[in-house]
Amino acid sequence: MTPRAWWLFALCSAIWGVPYLFIRVAVDAGVPPAFIAWARVTLGAALLLPLALRRGALPTLRGRGRAIAAYAACEIAVPFVLIAIGERYISSSLTAILVATMPLFVALLSVRLSPADKPTGLRLLGLVIGFGGVVALLGVDVAGRPDELLGAALALVATLGYATAPIIVSRRLADLDPLGPVAASLAVSAVALLPAVFASPPHAIPASALWAIAVLGVVCTALGLVVFFQLIAEAGPSRASVITYINPLVAVLLGVVVLDEHLGPTSVAGLVLILGGSWLSTGGRIPFTSENGK
């Protein structure tokens, strides 16, 4: 890890730890979830499409329309809306903790889609531990409260989409400049979400919500993806993926400090179990060390 890689890692971890806070700000201001998602992806597309055009990354997408549409649905359009709806019912902290189960879903999907990579031994134990954390959260923290259970379910369905997206990339888009598929997927998502926006248009949006949506689009979406691409180029995809274990910590800290959300013992235990189980389910490796310890 070079000094530049460490800076990119810290920046990316922070950028992708803050969306839950700003989504909550916009939701609490009464902005429809579909509009939050649409405005976010439209801003991201407006910023990234010119970069993709300049790099010549868009012409290479010819013949990949289905893969782009599937990636857009799983990584952007559906999760962004579901998480915004979910945060109507659950805290930003709990949302971030549930989204941290993404590596668990990746390992679980590999049982069906990649039998050669089927979790066994410690990886299987990691799945049990991680989903035990989810059961603890749903069975104790939100048990008996239907609205919160709905919010948690929406967050988990969104996370399943996030876990499916890398499989689509690895099978159909891995040979392309990543900026092309991402910019195109943002544009596709912006168009796909328009009917939902027309069905539930926003009314007067307060300044706080406008600022929150601007941060979501410019910082959390466009800048976040660019920084992540640079981190992958500098440190490799394995090391870059470690941000999965850091963003929920950032999100939980912001939820507690900025939004005054309560984080009970069960939530803390659930977060520890989910992160520990995720680490084991992905092989229990420390990506910051290579074979020779450097």
Instruction: Give pLDDT tens digits for 185-209.
Output: 999 999 999 999 999 999 889 999 9
Q: Are 267 and 137 in contact (CB under 8 A)?
A: yes
Instruction: Give pLDDT tens digits for 54-87.
Output: 999 999 999 999 999 999 999 999 999 999 999 9
pLDDT at 118 over 60: yes
- Whole-model pTM: value is 0.88
Instruction: Give pLDDT tens digits for 237-287.
Output: 556 666 777 888 899 999 999 999 988 888 888 889 988 888 887 666 544
Name the pLDDT band for 288 (thresholds 50, 70, 90).
Answer: very low
Query: Which pLDDT score, from 0 to 100, does residue 116 have?
Result: 61
Name the pLDDT band for 293 (thresholds 50, 70, 90).
Answer: very low
Q: What is the DSSP string of the chain?
A: --HHHHHHHHHHHHHTTSHHHHHHHHHHTT--HHHHHHHHHHHHHHHHHHHHHHTT-SGGGTT-HHHHHHHHIIIIIHHHHHHHHHTTTS-HHHHHHHHTTHHHHHHHHHHHH-GGG---THHHHHHHHHHHHHHHIIIIISTT-HHHHHHHHHHHHHHHHHHHHHHHIIIIITTS-THHHHHHHHHHHHHHTHHHHHHS---PPPHHHHHHHHHIIIIIIIIHHHHHHHHHHHH-HHHHTTHHHHHHHHHHHHHHHTS-----HHHHHHHHHHHHHHHHHTTS--TT--TT--
What is the C-alpha to C-alpha distance for residues 4 and 266, in angstroms, rounded to an integer? 37
CA distances from residue 51 to 61, 191, 271 in whole angstroms, order as listed:
15, 19, 37
